[in-house]
Amino acid sequence: MSFGNTFDAYCVVHAPFAAPQRRAEFEASLASVGVSNYRVVEAERVAADDPRTKPFGAPGPVSLIDAVVRVIELARAEGWSSVAIFEDDVIFRRRFAARWAQVEQAVRATPWDVLTLYRWPWHNVIIEKPFARTSLLPIRWTLTTHAYAIRASAYDVVLDAIAACLAEGKPLDLFTGKVTRAGGHVFATSHNLAGQTSMSGGSTLGNFRRHPPPRPQVPRRVRLLPQPPRIRRRQQRPRGAARGAAAGASLNAFRAWQPGGLIPMAHHPSARTWRRDGVPAEYFLAITFGTLMASGAVASRGLHDGPRAEPGNKKAAKPWA
């Protein structure tokens, strides 16, 4: 068993009028994974004035949709039980054969309707586990349509989903989500096995390192929120000499207010290291003692002027002037 005989048929959507050089590229890519028998369905030009192109702004997406619809109609007419569809810029992962061997049995046994060889959700980042075995995972939808398979039981469901995308002016990428909403089963390989050369040389194979999902836009109402008060007060504090003058004025006011005496912090051992912008060292603890006294937690009469003035104590502090 190999990837080349897993599905009933293989088709490639090719646009020779847009990128004729891709034929040699996808022939080499498919040969590398053992696919030699496949059909090439050429996309046709779509007139620029076609009303279906208006939502897209270009005829390319509509041309791709028309080509995929022709592939599914061909599969139904030929009676294929399943068909694998590739875009002409498809590339495959290194050691693809080894990864596919791990998941091939599950592909044959799982009742999937649409199977993708990759996952690319719009708002999430998928971090692959490189040492884990490749398995099948049920998904709701994925972006891009460069390598996927459809079973015969889902041909009509997929055609309806594609028609809905075209009617709503949405790209083919979103058809898997509509299949899920219609009750279909969409599965994907846990490792991205296929990518695109037209998207920076890797697309999903880069594991989102080259193509991270777009960052959500911050709502305007969040950007216009007022600045937090704490930050405003910090920005309005005086700087440099002005700050020192304001602090000195506060200290003088506190000295005039305080009853009795407080421990003169100028005599504290760490006083020299507590001077900032010309502010006296005692300022930093004066407010603390003032708060305690105002609340009644500390009585002014119970405080003393520095170390106790005992006989023989040469380090006795002088009271504040």
Instruction: Give the Cα separation of 120 and 132 in Å (integer).
Output: 19
Beta-bridge partners for 14: 42
Beta-bridge partners for 117: none
Instruction: Name residue 313's amino acid.
Output: N
Say if residue 262 is exposed, middle or buried (CB neighbours under 10 Å; 0-12, 13-18, 19+).
buried
Question: On the CB side of 41, how many CA atoms lie within 13 Å of its CA?
Answer: 23
- The 8-class DSSP code of residue 147 comes to E
Query: How would residue 282 be classed by pLDDT, with cut points 50, 70 and 90?
Result: very low
Instruction: Give the Cα separation of 292 and 110 in Å (integer).
Output: 75
* pLDDT top residue among 293 and 63: 63
The string of pLDDT tens digits covering residues 98-145 is 999 999 999 999 999 999 999 887 666 667 777 889 999 999 989 889
pTM above 0.75, yes or no: no
- Give the other-Cβ count within 10 Å of 88's Cβ: 26
pLDDT for residue 45 = 93
CB 217 within 8 A of CB 227: no
Helix (H, G, I), strand (E, B) or coil at 24: helix
The DSSP code sequence of 199-264 is TTTTGGGGTTSSSPPPPPPPPHHHHTPPPPHHHHHHHHS--HHHHHHHHHHHHHHHHHH--S----
pLDDT for residue 113 = 97
List % helix, strand, coil for the chain (3-state, nearest 5). 40, 10, 45
pLDDT for residue 120 = 84
The string of pLDDT tens digits covering residues 237-273 is 555 565 566 556 555 554 554 444 444 444 444 444 4
- Give the other-Cβ count within 10 Å of 65's Cβ: 22
The string of pLDDT tens digits covering residues 165-215 is 999 999 999 999 999 999 999 999 999 999 988 664 445 565 444 334 445
In the predicted model, what is the mean pLDDT of residues 91-104?
Answer: 94
Query: How would residue 309 be classed by pLDDT, with cut points 50, 70 and 90?
Result: very low
Instruction: Give the Cα separation of 293 and 302 in Å (integer).
Output: 11
